[in-house]
Amino acid sequence: MKTITSIADIQKELLVHKQNGKKIGFVPTMGFLHEGHEQLLTVARKENDIVVLSIFVNPLQFGENEDLDKYPRDYERDEAVARKNDVDYIFYPSVQEMYPESPSVTIKVNQRTDVMCGKSRPGHFDGVATVVTKLFHIVQPDQAYFGLKDAQQVAVIEGLVKDLNFPITIKRVSIIREEDGLAKSSRNVYLSAEEREEAKQLFASLVLASKKIVEGERNPDQIISLIKQHIEMTTSGKIDYIEIYEYPTLNKIDILQGQIIIAIAVAFTSARLIDNKILIVE
């Protein structure tokens, strides 16, 4: 495993592999790797000859009220995780390397942003799309891996790749869950014992909703009410949103049909949890 900090160096290394016809899988991250990232690396390892992990805390995707400096970092631990997961290259550039000056162009995300978590983070996805574009051009992967825990990010990236014709395949990787269904998250440790017990109800409510849809319900409002009722009855959390859209366009729908996402966010005392389920409705 090699750690590379310079754009020119990683391009030189990867060019050799590309010329040898190797398939390159790419997992872009902001570091502080957890099981979700390991899942991405596991899938990438299975499907590619070369696995590249990038670690870069991207200033462009932080809002004015979001504390970039407080974002957790632990490069040594990340390196150990990467090694354990058989990564070939860590691309670990500095801010200076990625943004030597204020960029003269950026990506503007015009759709898929003003819903779900994006509503409260104006400009966030512009920053994400800009750094992902840069990283895609630097690494030139065949396939790039994103976790469905952040389903809105996956939707934005799929739009980026499709609408700007990137020659890259985006691979969606499923949410990994605890035994009781709670989506794994580094925030789960902030839950009290009682809240942790309640938190499994987020997934339970999504399962309940899916069943109702399988049984024939096609009215999104009915499904939203059902989830709302379930979460309110079984948890002490405060519902931030329960939303249903066509996926990945995140367009509103009146009738449940095609590929859809049910997305929820619930605030507990010290942790706001998100979860979602993507399903195809015949």
Tell me 54's DSSP state.
Answer: E
3-state secondary structure of 90: strand
Residue 21 or 216 having the CB closest to a copy of itself: 21
Query: How far is the first Cα of the chain from the last one, in angstroms, to the nearest whole number?
Result: 45
Q: Which of 92, 146, 166, 247 binds a copy of itself (CB under 8 A)?
A: 166
CB of 85 to a copy of itself, least distance (A): 26
Does position 164 interact with a copy of itself (CB under 8 A)? The reply is yes
CB of 173 to a copy of itself, least distance (A): 21
For 175-213, the DSSP string reads PPB-TTSPBP-GGGGGS-HHHHHHHHHHHHHHHHHHHHH
Task: Single out the segment in contact with a copy of itself by CB under 8 A; choices: 23-31, 52-60, 134-142, 259-267.
Answer: 134-142
Task: Single out the segment in contact with a copy of itself by CB under 8 A; choices: 26-34, 63-71, 158-166, 232-240.
Answer: 158-166
Does position 112 interact with a copy of itself (CB under 8 A)? The reply is yes
Distances (CA, A) of 164 to 46, 56, 150, 160: 27, 23, 21, 6
Structure token digits, residue 44: 């990438």
- Catalytic (active site) residue 37: yes
Residues in contact with a copy of itself, counted by CB under 8 A, come to a total of 33
Task: State which of positions 225-254 bind a copy of itself (CB under 8 A).
Answer: 249
Distance in angstroms (rounded) separating the CA atoms of residues 96 and 33: 22
Residue 96 or 165 having the CB closest to a copy of itself: 165
The bridge status of strand 238-246 relative to strand 258-267 is: antiparallel
Residue 105 or 193 having the CB closest to a copy of itself: 105
Residues labelled catalytic: 37
